[in-house]
């Protein structure tokens, strides 16, 4: 790879100095780079105009920035790579202090490309345009109360959960909210999805690992104190819709994928040990 686009989190690089330094570093290693308008978190998804010949987009920020930027760029088909300016940075390929070494490996083609699955959702048959790279979460919208959810896989009931909600996670998302809720760590090459209950008020509830070819349906059931808006659906942390009793949310794998650049010298298990 020789031609790069750089996009940064505006909050973490407000004056663009870090992005410019990275562009200069790429130039020193024999590549070329240009910087586009920064990502502003908490706003609607924007469009990034890539110049012809761009071979990779480098996203500067934490995991949240990477998720947002990767999905903005997904339609281009150009691989993306993250350099961490945040805290955990599990999805990113390198820390900023190691950027010089990372750039050297990129321009010398010492990397691997991982294909990341995406999830799409629909409510009562109406599909959302926002795709999930990490997870889809159906969670209670009220304060300090339980919700009841009926979870089915391919039309067959898997379980009824009473608790704070349920997480549908990809392998990438298995190390996020799902892990915090007691879900398993899933290797990135696995073709699976994880269904993880959140704070279930039941002794038998455990996560399920299913095929990513399966279709999951979550129905909001009536509770002892039903409200007009019983639950909410969030996609990679962004709230996309409210749910009432009787609403059904369907989650399935999308046809689209995201190509993510990772460095060869750092394996998935190195990241697990180092970050978690």
Question: What Rg value do the Cα atoms of the chain yield, rounded?
Answer: 20
Q: Please report the beta strands in 124-164, taking only residues with DSSP state E, as ranges in sequence order.
A: 126-127, 135-140, 147-153, 156-163
Map out the domains of the chain as residue ranges: 3-109, 118-255
| Catalytic residue (choose from 63, 164, 236, 247) | 63
- Rounded to the nearest 5 degrees, what angle is found at the Cα of 220, between the Cα atoms of 176 and 125? 90
63 is catalytic: yes
Let me know: does 121 contact 256? Beta carbons within 8 Å: no
| pLDDT at residue 192, as a whole number | 97
Please determine, looking at this structure, whether the domain spanning 118-255 carries the CATH number 2.60.200.30: yes
The CATH number of 3-109 is: 3.40.50.10330
Long-range contacts: 200-205, Cβ < 8 Å, 24+? 200/161, 200/162, 200/163, 201/146, 201/162, 201/163, 202/161, 202/162, 202/163, 205/159, 205/161, 205/163
3-state helix, strand, coil split of the chain in percent (to 5) is: 20, 40, 40
Mean pLDDT in consecutive groups of 10 residues from the start of the chain, 276 residues: 94 93 96 89 68 95 92 91 90 92 93 94 91 96 83 96 96 95 95 96 93 97 72 91 94 95 87 86
| pLDDT at residue 214, as a whole number | 98
**Any bridge partners for residue 261, and if so which?**
113
Let me know: does 233 contact 252? Beta carbons within 8 Å: no
| pLDDT at residue 151, as a whole number | 97
**Any bridge partners for residue 6, and if so which?**
35, 58
The count of residues in the chain is 276
Q: What is the pTM of this model?
A: 0.91
| pLDDT at residue 57, as a whole number | 96
């Amino acid at each position: 790879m020789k031609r790069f686009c750089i996009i940064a989190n505006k909050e973490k690089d407000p004056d663009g100095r870090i992005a410019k330094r990275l562009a200069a570093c790429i130039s020193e290693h024999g590549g070329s780079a240009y910087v586009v308008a920064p990502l502003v978190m908490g706003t609607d998804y924007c469009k990034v105009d890539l110049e012809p010949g761009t071979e990779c987009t480098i996203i500067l920020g934490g995991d949240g920035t990477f998720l947002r930027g990767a999905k903005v760029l997904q339609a281009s088909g150009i691989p993306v790579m993250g350099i961490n300016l945040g805290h955990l940075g599990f999805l990113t390929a390198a820390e900023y202090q190691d950027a010089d070494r990372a750039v050297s490996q990129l321009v010398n083609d010492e990397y691997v490309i991982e294909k990341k699955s995406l999830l799409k959702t629909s409510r009562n048959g109406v599909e959302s345009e926002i795709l999930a790279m990490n997870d889809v979460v159906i969670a209670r919208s009220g304060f300090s109360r339980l919700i009841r959810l009926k979870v089915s896989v391919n039309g067959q009931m898997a379980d009824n959960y009473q608790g704070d909600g349920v997480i549908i996670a990809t392998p990438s998302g298995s190390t996020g909210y799902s892990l915090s809720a007691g879900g398993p760590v899933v290797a990135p090459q696995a073709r699976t999805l994880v269904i993880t209950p959140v704070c279930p008020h039941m002794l038998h509830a455990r996560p399920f690992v299913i095929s990513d070819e399966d279709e999951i349906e979550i129905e909001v059931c009536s509770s002892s104190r039903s409200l007009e808006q019983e639950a909410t659906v969030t996609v990679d942390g962004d709230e996309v819709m409210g749910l009432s009793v009787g609403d059904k949310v369907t989650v399935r794998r999308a046809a689209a994928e995201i190509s993510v650049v990772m460095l060869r010298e750092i394996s998935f298990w190195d990241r697990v040990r180092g970050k978690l």
